[in-house]
Structure 1
Amino acid sequence: MTRYLIIYEKGADGYSAYVPDLPGCTSAGATKKEVEQNIVEAIRLHIEMMIESGYPIPEANSESEMLVLA
């Protein structure tokens, strides 16, 4: 099982998400729950397309860290 980092961003019109290790894999939704569901489907379809096209599936290399500035 591969675990990909997902970045969520809140905007004026809802939420967006992207996967740094899968360039071009993005999604959006009106709510956080909606974008969470949408990005899972986007990842599945993105990987499926890569396999069908003969592209290698990227390894999950991204890491995250929260920096708090005082």
Structure 2
Amino acid sequence: MNNYHINVFYSKDDEGYIADIPDLKFCSAFGATPEEAVHEVEIAKSLWIEAAKASGKPIPEPKYRPAIYQIS
């Protein structure tokens, strides 16, 4: 599977970590630790791609790069 960038951040409101994949709209997951959130978003990514394939929707190529990596 393609290597999509994963953002991980702490949510004070949710009292846990959120992981999301910006290239896959609405693909995110929650975990008590950053590692758990990443594990859960990997599952969500697989399901997101499976659902897109089943419905004939396009699957975007990984393009998102955080600004810190875009500085030359």
Partner residue in 2 for 1:10: 10
Question: Comparing both structures, which one devotes a greater share of its residues to helix?
Answer: 2
Aligned partner letter, 2:5: L
TM-score (norm 1): 0.86
Question: 1:65, CA displacement in angstroms?
Answer: 3.8
Give the distance between the partners of 2:23 and 2:10, measured in 1 at CA: 20
Aligned residues: 67
Measured against aligned partners, the alpha-carbon deviations of 1:31-63 in whole angstroms (never above 9, x if no partner) come to: 112111101000000000000010011111111
Which consecutive aligned stretches of 4+ in structure 1 deviate over 2 angstroms post-superposition?
none
Unaligned runs of 5+ in 2: none
Identity %: 36
* CA RMSD across the alignment: 1.5
Give the distance between the partners of 1:37 and 1:60, measured in 2 at CA: 19
Partner residue in 2 for 1:30: 32
